[in-house]
Chain A
Amino acid sequence: MSLTDTGVTERIANTSPPDAGRPRRRLTERLLAVRELSLLLALGALILVTMLHNDRFLSSQSIKDLLLGCAILVILAVGQTLVIITRNVDLSVGSILGLVAFATGELFLAAPGTPWPAALLLGVALGAVCGAVNGGLIAVAKVPALVITLGTLYAFRGIDYYWAAGQQINAADMPRSFLRLGNQTLLGVPVLFLVALVVVAAAGFYLHSYRSGRELYAIGSEPAAARLSGVPVGRRVFAVFVASGALAGLAGVLYAARFGTLDAAAGTGLELQVVAAAVVGGVAIFGGSGSVFGAALGAVLLTTIGSSLAVLRIDPFWQQAVVGALILAAIGLDRLLAARMAARLRGRSARGA
């Protein structure tokens, strides 16, 4: 019993202004495409320049190294993107990774027979618990996530140090099958990278196609309006921190599998790299826009810069400066694109309706 069947509509349709050829393509999607394309171009240019300097940069071994190197950062960037989209930030991911990596080592020390899938699940669960601590504190204290996770960054790391008490875990302490997970390839692609790809694809699909995924964008875009629309803001934000923690836990287990040698300092300072990857990847730091694909590309780009500067024999100091410049360039590009889109939208709304 929709109104559209009545004559009212017809009269309305006749009085409405002539259709001035409405643009069909989704502007938002196009903007994201432009953003991700520019990342790919930057990545391509970087690889090209490095290759011209040293043609072994693109050998299958070094590609494998590259993919292996970025997998963990990509997984963390996905979790961070989920958080940032809701206008929050999770600074504790580096510490969660370190804690879970060490816990995994301890697990194999205590129970050498543990099958690696069980270790993986336990690691993810421990990460999720840490994330739940973050989410719970934010919900209860009603303090910005920046402050809470800054606190838990030190708290989780502190637990890690207390537990480790200066001790180091070596590859010899861990089962072969587990360590192989970290270096094995499937059809020439490192398994770690495949895991990262699955995480990216799943998170991207979720954010794009599910109601609760879209609600994350709504929360970050305008929290007050989200509340008025009946979006369970508190619950979603809590879930996002649990997800970010769980992904950091996954990254922690994979870190243990890849490096084998673990102490309490594993993953120190990683959180800022992760945030940098997301920002370079076009995730708006004030929430509401951005994609996990962009963030993943950002992570790949940052990792590639690291290794290509090494190949080009550039001082590590410059590596930091380049990353900094890249962040500023990414923000500049975002502003430029946003301004151009705003101008186009304004023009359109002035003519239309």
Chain B
Amino acid sequence: MSPDARGTKAPPLLVLDDIRKSFGAVAALRGVHLELHPGEAHALVGENGAGKSTLVKILAGAHAPDSGRMTLDGHPLLLRGPADARSAGIAVIYQEPTLFPDLTVAENIFMGRQPLRSFRRIDTREMNRAAERLFDRLGVRIDPSRPARGLSIADQQLVEIAKALSFDARILVMDEPTAALSGVEVERLFGVARSLCERGAAVLFISHRFDEVFDLCQRLTVLRDGAWVSSDRTADLTVDEVVRRMVGRDVASLYPKQDAPLRDTLLEVRGLSRAGVFSDVSFSVRGGEIVALAGLVGAGRSEVARAIFGIDRHDAGEVRVAGRVLPAGSPRKAIAAGMALVPEDRRQQGLVMELSVERNATLARRRALSRLGLLSGGAERAEARQWTTRLQVKTSRLAAPVATLSGGNQQKVVLAKWLATRPRILIIDEPTRGIDVGTKSEVHRLLSELAGEGLAILMISSELPEVLGMADRVLVMHEGRLVRELSRDEADETSVMFAATGQGATA
């Protein structure tokens, strides 16, 4: 029996009908329909700001819809809070991990549901064992008794997934769970999702990666600007068709890196090492060039970027900017030398969520914008306006807190912040993580433009098409070492993956 046939016969498990939700004057959802069938994975796609995350929050019980009906098994479903959603069997994996840094991994998974022993005491040993069983199921190794603080984003995401699995959920909602995961981890996650489906659960999967969407899901719903566009079987759809529905227009070529004349070497890294993290990393980047740092999650790419920028100290080696040695361990000197770093985790490292768009955009430029030590509001606003316009940041007003923006627009604000420092070298970590197709190509066009203006760009990316489309040269890392350098012509999916997985490592 094909999944399609099963889907049409079984009554839907969860039905959302004409769901509406507004935040102040902004309508986030304008009449959304969704039917989840038991045993089916259902994809939800749409550009950033299309309302996907709002819908997830409603399913999670974190937001109450303004109007509309929800039914579970044909009975009206009322969620007064996250606890209600939980007891209804809805588990959610959020886009941004929501962990307690001070508590252990196992406690994070079982908060409020810890296994108990006599006198209702928490059975810590059993809890750790249960967490280990979940990780075994996911095929990963994370120490359940370590604190969540300091986990990489991929590991945090895995803890979130383990948390959702621990519910034995009837409905599993995954809001871009794969953004930070490596290929193997994604495969395992999908294996778990499929086995949940086989047991009659329904999965709602949100992703910008179409290969994954078509791989996992039987049905697909498109949202655009908070409104429902279509729901179809994935078998009847093509990627082009889906993209057209998402953006409501044809998207220009996805990866438009233009050839730019190469200038002098701006960034030179020699023998950079940090004990236990990476060792003997050497490469250079010239003005006008985009160099991609590829590799699996955990290969040490972000750590190299942090060391180059001076956030972490390195044990050996040196970094030269335009021929001059950069003092180690000083981001301030790195900025002064014309370097900018757009970090991977923009929520924690790139933005002050409570501050306004304009404050964030000009955060790295305070000195230049101040007179006698006082920040000039006018200068700040003018500067912010210039960059937000150039980057097409969608915000109701510049004074709005960054937290109110969608993921793609937040990324643009981080970019604006660093571009405002007029850098010569731009290091950008996962430039389009969790960003919709439209914004993605805007970011790519912008990077290409910047290279054309003579910037040296070092781009860390886990998305192969992005690496292949954007990079003039590809450096591949594997377990803390630079194992391969590929020119644009040499680089293709096979050669990069071959090197990234450590096969035939000949640097």
- CB nearest neighbor in A for B106: A26
Q: How far is the CA of A1 from the CA of B112 in the complex (A)?
A: 23
For A209, what are the chain B residues with a Cβ–Cβ distance below 8 Å? Answer: 121-122
Nearest-neighbour CB distance to chain B for A230, whole angstroms, equals 4
B111, CB-defined interface residue at 8 Å: yes
Nearest-neighbour CB distance to chain A for B165, whole angstroms, equals 9
- CB nearest neighbor in A for B119: A209
Nearest-neighbour CB distance to chain B for A301, whole angstroms, equals 24
Q: Is the CB of B103 within 8 A of A23?
A: no
Q: How far is the CA of A345 from the CA of B152 in the complex (A)?
A: 10
Nearest-neighbour CB distance to chain B for A350, whole angstroms, equals 5
Q: Is the CB of A221 within 8 A of B100?
A: yes
Q: How far is the CA of A209 from the CA of B127 in the complex (A)?
A: 12
Q: Is the CB of B137 within 8 A of A3?
A: yes
Taking CB atoms and an 8 Å cut-off, the chain A residues in 1-40 that contact chain B are: 1-4, 6, 8-9, 12-13, 15-17, 19, 22-28
Q: Is the CB of B141 within 8 A of A22?
A: yes
Q: A19-B141, A22-B143 are in contact. Are A230 and B158 (CB under 8 A)?
A: no
A58, CB-defined interface residue at 8 Å: no
For B116, what are the chain A residues with a Cβ–Cβ distance below 8 Å? Answer: 211
A215, CB-defined interface residue at 8 Å: yes
Q: Is the CB of B99 within 8 A of A4?
A: no
Q: How far is the CA of A348 from the CA of B143 in the complex (A)?
A: 10
Q: Is the CB of A217 within 8 A of B103?
A: yes
Q: Is the CB of B104 within 8 A of A15?
A: no
B145, CB-defined interface residue at 8 Å: yes
Q: Is the CB of A230 within 8 A of B83?
A: yes
Interface centre among A6, A218, A227, A231 (most CB of B within 10 A): A218
For B99, what are the chain A residues with a Cβ–Cβ distance below 8 Å? Answer: 222, 225
User: Could you mark each residue 117-155 of chain B with 1 if its beta carbon is under 8 Å from any beta carbon of chain A, else 0?
Assistant: 000111000000000010011111111011101111011
Q: Is the CB of B154 within 8 A of A228?
A: no
For A231, what are the chain B residues with a Cβ–Cβ distance below 8 Å? Answer: 111-112
Q: Is the CB of B139 within 8 A of A350?
A: no
Q: A350-B276, A353-B155 are in contact. Are A16 and B141 (CB under 8 A)?
A: yes
**How many CB-defined contacts (below 8 Å) exist between A and B?**
155
Q: A12-B137, A209-B122 are in contact. Are A214 and B111 (CB under 8 A)?
A: yes
Nearest-neighbour CB distance to chain B for A322, whole angstroms, equals 30
For A267, what are the chain B residues with a Cβ–Cβ distance below 8 Å? Answer: none
Taking CB atoms and an 8 Å cut-off, the chain B residues in 68-85 that contact chain A are: 81-83
Q: Is the CB of A218 within 8 A of B298?
A: no
B54, CB-defined interface residue at 8 Å: no
Q: Is the CB of A210 within 8 A of B121?
A: yes
State the majority secondary structure of interface residues on A: helix
For B199, what are the chain A residues with a Cβ–Cβ distance below 8 Å? Answer: 1
Q: Is the CB of B100 within 8 A of A288?
A: yes
A342, CB-defined interface residue at 8 Å: yes
Q: Is the CB of B155 within 8 A of A229?
A: no
Taking CB atoms and an 8 Å cut-off, the chain A residues in 276-325 that contact chain B are: 284, 288-289
Interface centre among B60, B276, B300 (most CB of A within 10 A): B276
For B364, what are the chain A residues with a Cβ–Cβ distance below 8 Å? Answer: none
For B191, what are the chain A residues with a Cβ–Cβ distance below 8 Å? Answer: 8, 12
Select A229's contact among B104, B112, B133, beta carbons within 8 Å: B112
Q: A229-B82, A288-B101, A289-B102 are in contact. Are A353 and B140 (CB under 8 A)?
A: yes
Q: How far is the CA of A2 from the CA of B86 in the complex (A)?
A: 19
- CB nearest neighbor in A for B94: A228
- CB nearest neighbor in B for A19: B141
A352, CB-defined interface residue at 8 Å: yes
User: Could you mark each residue 235-269 of chain A with 1 if its beta carbon is under 8 Å from any beta carbon of chain B, else 0?
Assistant: 00000000000000000000000000000000000
State the majority secondary structure of interface residues on B: loop
- CB nearest neighbor in B for A14: B139
Select B155's contact among A1, A15, A211, A349, beta carbons within 8 Å: A349
Q: Is the CB of B300 within 8 A of A222?
A: no
- CB nearest neighbor in A for B98: A225
Select A16's contact among B139, B155, B195, beta carbons within 8 Å: B139
Nearest-neighbour CB distance to chain A for B177, whole angstroms, equals 15
Q: A3-B192, A229-B82 are in contact. Are A348 and B121 (CB under 8 A)?
A: no
For A218, what are the chain B residues with a Cβ–Cβ distance below 8 Å? Answer: 100, 103, 107, 111
Interface centre among A3, A218, A222, A224 (most CB of B within 10 A): A3
Q: How far is the CA of A289 from the CA of B369 in the complex (A)?
A: 39
A351, CB-defined interface residue at 8 Å: yes
Nearest-neighbour CB distance to chain A for B100, whole angstroms, equals 4
Q: How far is the CA of A9 from the CA of B192 in the complex (A)?
A: 10
Q: Is the CB of A342 within 8 A of B150?
A: yes
Q: How far is the CA of A346 from the CA of B311 in the complex (A)?
A: 13
Select A345's contact among B120, B137, B147, beta carbons within 8 Å: B147
Q: How far is the CA of A23 from the CA of B147 in the complex (A)?
A: 12
A347, CB-defined interface residue at 8 Å: yes
Q: How far is the CA of A92 from the CA of B98 in the complex (A)?
A: 33
Select B146's contact among A1, A288, A345, beta carbons within 8 Å: A345
For A347, what are the chain B residues with a Cβ–Cβ distance below 8 Å? Answer: 276-277
B367, CB-defined interface residue at 8 Å: no
A226, CB-defined interface residue at 8 Å: yes
Q: Is the CB of B155 within 8 A of A9?
A: no
What are 30 A-B pairs at a CB distance below 8 A?
A12-B138, A12-B191, A13-B139, A15-B184, A16-B139, A22-B143, A25-B145, A27-B147, A210-B120, A218-B107, A221-B102, A222-B101, A224-B98, A225-B100, A227-B82, A229-B112, A230-B83, A230-B112, A231-B111, A231-B112, A288-B101, A288-B103, A341-B147, A342-B150, A345-B147, A345-B149, A345-B150, A350-B303, A352-B141, A353-B155
Q: Chain A residues in contact with chain B, CB under 8 A?
A: 1-4, 6, 8-9, 12-13, 15-17, 19, 22-28, 209-211, 214-215, 217-218, 220-222, 224-232, 284, 288-289, 341-342, 345-353
12 extra interface residue pairs, beta carbon distance < 8 Å, beyond A214-B111, A227-B82: A25-B145, A28-B102, A28-B147, A217-B102, A218-B111, A230-B82, A345-B146, A349-B151, A349-B298, A350-B480, A353-B155, A353-B298
Q: Chain B residues in contact with chain A, CB under 8 A?
A: 60, 62, 81-83, 86, 94, 98-104, 107, 111-112, 114, 116, 120-122, 133, 136-143, 145-147, 149-152, 154-155, 158, 184, 188, 191-192, 195, 199, 276-277, 298, 300, 303, 480
Top 10 A-B pairs, shortest CB-CB distance = A345-B150, A12-B139, A230-B83, A288-B102, A225-B98, A221-B100, A221-B102, A209-B121, A230-B82, A26-B145
